[in-house]
Every structure is written in C-alpha cells, then in structure tokens.
C-alpha cells in the first residue's frame, strides 16, 4: 500500500486531529513524506483540515482502496483511477481470456454510458463506477435475471450499512427521493459454436456522494449521500457484491419487487411508435413486467422504458 493510502487509513479511523508526528511514528515516514501524502489526498478530492500544533483531520471524502474491497468481498478487483469506461475495461480483459468473478472499478469515466449508449454522468469525485465480469456458460433461457439480482443486492447493501430504503424502477434504475441515484447495464456475450452465454458484464454506476450536477440533470439525478458520507465507497462496493453472491436469488428478487415503484402504478410505454398505458401488475423472475392495458388485455414487457403517470 502506498504512503498516501496509509495516511488516508489513519485519518479515516480518527474523529479528531492527528499530529504529523503521530502519523510519522505509525508509518515510519518523514514530515516531508506526510506533507506530500496530504497533498496527494487533497488532489484526489478529499477535504483535509490542518491546524498548527494539532495536525490533520479528514473532513469529507474517501479514497478507493481496491485491496480492501478485494479482501472483504468474494471477487477480484482491477482498479483504474480514470478510465474510458469500466464496461470497456471488462470487455477488453474478457477478450484476452481474463477469468470471471472480476470487478473492474474506477473513480472516473471519460466515456461512461448507460442503456442505448446514452452518456452516463461520471464526475471525478463522489461516484462509483464498476463492471462485474462473470462466466455463466448457460443457455440464454437459463440465465438468472442479473439486472434484478444486482438491483436487489444494491438495495440490501445500502439497507445493511445505512438503514436507508432506496426504490427500484423497472428495469434497471435505483431511486432515492424520486431522483435517480444509480443505474445498471447488463450485457451478455454468446458463443456461436455452443449457443451458450459465455460471459456477462454487469455495469453499475452509483452517485455516492455528489453535491453538484449539470443543469440538465438537477431535477432528475440525486445522490445517495450529501457530503460528508457516513460510510466509504469501499464499504458499499464490498457489501454490494457480498449480497449479490451470498444472498439467495429468491430473496433478492423479493426485495426487488418489494421496493418496486412501478408495481400497482399506472405506466406508459411506446411500442412501434404507439403509446400504451396500463397498470403494472407483476414482475417475473426473468425480469419481465406484466402490464394490464386500459382495454383489459395483459402483456409482458421484456425490455424498454416505461414512464410513471404518477409517483
């Protein structure tokens, strides 16, 4: 672990000011090395106060520590501070034979995107951007509903750590106070030879502790926390994937339906350039949404977008 990461861990574990002398004694570092570490942490976006004769205090912000996530979750972690997108990182690794159960993680994306290739707002500070590569080797019809399971795991992890109830909008969005705080993008790769789905990449973007959004997103996007956050991104990331791997699928699907903001509501959607409205009645274990149309007919939506008539 690098010096600035070690200094961060000490500051994060203290609630009061820590003297440079104490940090130096604990880490066997010179005052100059400590000062450089503090500078690096500030460059990473952490807010650190310093008072003469008292030392340093972490006011807000955290540092991604991939080795901690790796140690506290059932996955391997590959980390880039800045990347084009974690989905691209996962695909590139997959193409050269990387093993599954690997998380590709970053604190900033330059070309992050969601469904339909829409740009995904990925600021340099306060977000979580990650893509999990798994190798199911299953027929398409036998695949679990990975998007739903991931959403259920996100809900459970946040509830476990913070006692906060977030909401889920079919099919892949997490909401808090009627604003989107997270999105999920699941992509599958099928073998032409065997017909099996060999690889799945589950991309997750979370607005963890972001205070400023572009003008066009202010009324749509929210953040899990307003800085300072009561937990670290490391804790939440590890907990999400622990919940994903260690919770029974039935429980995660139950949580997904329990926190759904569309079930029982009137929704609208577009098919073949025509707008339909109806009541969202159920969500299947495969992720399909059952809608009873205004004419009484019942249909199942496999994908696409819906709009809520009322929250």
Establish whether 257 is an annotated binding residue. Answer: no
**How far is 72 from 242, CA to CA, in rounded Å?**
8
The radius of gyration computed from the CA coordinates of the chain, to the nearest angstrom, equals 22
216 token code pair: 């066009």
Looking from the CA of 119 toward its CB, the CA atoms found within 13 Å total 9
Neighbours of 23 (CB within 10 A): 23
Helix (H) or strand (E) holding 21: helix 20-27
Establish whether 9 is an annotated binding residue. Answer: no
**How far is 93 from 64, CA to CA, in rounded Å?**
21
* 205 Cβ contact partners less than 8 Å away, ≥ 6 residues apart: 112, 114, 120, 122, 127, 128, 129, 130, 182, 183
Question: Which residues define the annotated binding site for biotin?
Answer: 109, 180
Residues placed in the known binding site: 109, 180
């Amino acid at each position: 672990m690098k010096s600035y990461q070690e200094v961060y861990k000490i500051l994060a574990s203290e609630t009061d000011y820590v003297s440079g002398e104490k940090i130096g004694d604990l880490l066997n570092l010179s005052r100059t090395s400590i000062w450089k570490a503090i500078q690096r942490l500030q460059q990473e976006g952490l807010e650190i106060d310093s008072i003469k004769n008292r030392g340093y205090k972490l006011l807000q912000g955290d540092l991604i520590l991939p080795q901690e996530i790796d140690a506290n979750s059932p996955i391997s972690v590959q980390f880039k501070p800045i990347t084009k997108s974690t989905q691209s990182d996962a695909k590139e690794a997959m193409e050269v034979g990387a093993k599954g159960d690997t998380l590709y993680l970053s604190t900033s994306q330059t070309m992050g995107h969601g469904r339909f290739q829409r740009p995904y707002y990925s600021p340099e500070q306060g977000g979580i951007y990650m893509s999990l590569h798994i190798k199911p080797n299953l027929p398409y019809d036998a695949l679990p509903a990975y998007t739903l399971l991931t959403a259920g795991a996100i809900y459970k992890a946040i509830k476990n750590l913070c006692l906060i109830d977030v909401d889920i909008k079919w099919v892949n969005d997490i909401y808090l106070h009627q604003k989107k705080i997270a999105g999920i993008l699941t992509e599958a790769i099928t073998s032409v030879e065997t017909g099996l789905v060999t690889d799945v990449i589950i991309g997750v973007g979370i607005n963890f502790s972001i205070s400023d959004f572009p003008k066009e997103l202010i009324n749509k996007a929210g953040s899990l926390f307003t800085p300072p956050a009561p937990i670290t991104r490391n804790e939440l990331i590890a907990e999400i994937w622990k919940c994903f791997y260690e919770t029974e699928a039935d429980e995660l699907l139950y949580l997904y339906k329990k926190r759904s903001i569309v079930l029982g509501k009137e929704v609208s959607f577009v098919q073949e350039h025509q707008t339909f409205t109806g009541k969202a009645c159920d969500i299947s274990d495969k992720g399909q949404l059952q809608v009873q149309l205004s004419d009484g007919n019942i249909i199942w939506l496999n994908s696409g977008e819906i709009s809520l008539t009322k929250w």
